[in-house]
Amino acid sequence: AQKITQTQPGMFVQEKEAVTLDCTYDTSDQSYGLFWYKQPSSGEMIFLIYQGSYDEQNATEGRYSLNFQKARKSANLVISASQLGDSAMYFCAMRVIFRLTFGKGITLSVRP
């Protein structure tokens, strides 16, 4: 069975600073994909970044980067230069054999 763990309580960050959101995963499969999604208060799910289990380089998408540590089974999201619009719930997810499993999410609040 696959499992995603997000245990941080609500996170706070000052505008323009960087923040790391933690995610650990567990699977016995060698082939898997790791995702991060953002859900603002309006409720839509917004795809941020993807990392494949065989990718050697950490994924980056603009201000988002995924710190992939395969041996530790962690896939932390780093947001650089936080903006007020980054305030939202963030979900880590893992896709294995078609199924996409989500963690419980982390709330991020950006302070001006």
* 63 contact partners, CB below 8 Å, separation of at least 6: 79, 80, 81
Cβ-based nearer residue to another protein, 50 or 67: 50
Q: How far apart, in Å, are the Cα atoms of 7 and each of 21, 33, 103, 107?
A: 10, 20, 9, 11
Q: How far apart are CA 59 and CA 76, in angstroms?
A: 11
In the complex, the smallest distance separating the C-beta of residue 101 from another protein, rounded to whole angstroms, is 7
Nearer to another protein, 51 or 87 (CB): 51
Closest approach, Cβ 16 to another protein, in A, equals 28
In the complex, the residues that contact another protein under the rule CB under 8 A are 6, 29, 31-33, 35, 37, 43-45, 47, 50, 52-53, 91, 93, 95-105
- Taking the least distance from each CB to another protein, the nearer of 71 and 97 is 97
Q: Distance of alpha carbon 12 from its chain centroid, rounded? A: 16
Quick one: tokens of 42?
């309006």
When the beta carbons of 15 and 61 are compared against another protein, the nearer one is: 61
Residue 7 C-beta: closest distance to another protein, Å: 12
User: In the structure encoding, which two tokens stand for residue 80, read together?
Assistant: 């650089």
Smallest separation, CB 45 to another protein (Å): 4
